[in-house]
Amino acid sequence: MVNIAIMGDYDSIYGFKALGVKVCPVTDPLEAEQMLKKLAEEKTAVIYITEALASRIPEALALYDESMLPAVIPIPGISGNTGIGLARVRKCVEKAVGSDIIFNEKS
């Protein structure tokens, strides 16, 4: 049994508590990196992270790109959508195909 966690500023994530998701309120990038590491070591399967926080620790996120677990997924927080989540998917397509063929019809 592995669980789900969410990281970010308290205002963005406190609602997840009601669903039984592990809530880890952090705003400091350094603390966030440590928290991410700790969660990964605890074999957390899915770690959601607010986009605002994710954009500040890209290196830490890249660490878990190659491994199967945990899946670190940026989601929009209370401060709004920064587009980093979609940008990550776009980068993924570019890496695989060589050019962005999924999103270019939009931009």
**Binding region for another protein (CB under 8 A):** 1-4, 11-12, 14-21, 45-46, 48, 65-66, 68-69, 71, 73, 75-78, 80-81, 85-86, 88-89, 92-93, 95-97, 102-103
Computed from CA positions of residues 89, 55, 63, 71, in that sequence, does the dihedral angle turn out positive or negative? negative
**Least distance in angstroms from the C-beta of 28 to another protein:** 21
The pair of structure tokens assigned to 90 is 């776009």
What is the residue whose two structure tokens read 């952090």?
26
**Least distance in angstroms from the C-beta of 37 to another protein:** 18
**Least distance in angstroms from the C-beta of 60 to another protein:** 15
**Alpha carbon of 33 to those of 4, 15, 60, 107: distances in Å?**
17, 22, 6, 32
Q: Is residue 35 within a helix (H) or strand (E), and if so which, with residue range?
A: helix 29-41
**Least distance in angstroms from the C-beta of 78 to another protein:** 5
Nearer Cβ to another protein (30/43):
43
Nearer Cβ to another protein (42/65):
65
Name the 3-class secondary structure at 103.
coil
Amino acid type, 66: E
Nearer Cβ to another protein (26/77):
77
